[in-house]
Amino acid sequence: MLLVSEALPKAAKVRAAKPGAPVDPKEVPDRFFAWPKERKYLCVDKDHAKAALKSLNTDYDAKRINNEIYSRAYKNIMKAYKSFGMQSQTKPRVPGLRPGIS
C-alpha cells in the first residue's frame, strides 16, 4: 500500500495532511481499501486502518462477510498497519491467520 501523500489528488492531500482528517472516499484510489472490489475498509492513515479492522471484525461477527473475504481484507489491513509502523493486538477471527501477517 502506498501512503496517502503518494496517491491522492492534490486537493485531497491538503485535507488528508493530518492523521484522522476527513477523507472523501470518492477521491481515494481502490488500492487504499482492504476490500477494493466493494471499496470497503479504507486504510489511508493510522486512524482509518484501526477503524477498518474494527469494522471488518464487526462485519465478520455479524456474518456479513465470509472467511475468504475476511482473510483477504485482514491481510490488506495488516499491510497498512505495517506501512504505518503499527502492530495489531487484535486476534484474527478466522483460524489459520496470525496477528500481524502481511
Give 5-32 pLDDT, tens digit per residue. Answer: 455 444 444 444 466 677 888 889 999 9
Its pTM stands at 0.77
Structural contact between residues 59 and 31, judged by C-beta atoms closer than 8 angstroms: no
Percent pLDDT > 90 in the chain is: 60
Residue ranges in the chain modelled with pLDDT below 70: 1-20, 100-102
pLDDT of residue 19: 62
Q: Which stretches does DSSP call E strand in 1-102?
A: 33-35, 40-42
Question: Residue 6's pLDDT is what?
Answer: 54
The pLDDT of residue 101 is 53
**Short-list 53, 41, 48, 43, CA closest to 7:** 43
Nearest to 49 by CA among 22, 5, 2, 86: 86
Cα–Cα nearest to 3, from 45, 49, 51, 50: 45
From CA 66, how far away is CA 6, in angstroms rounded? 32
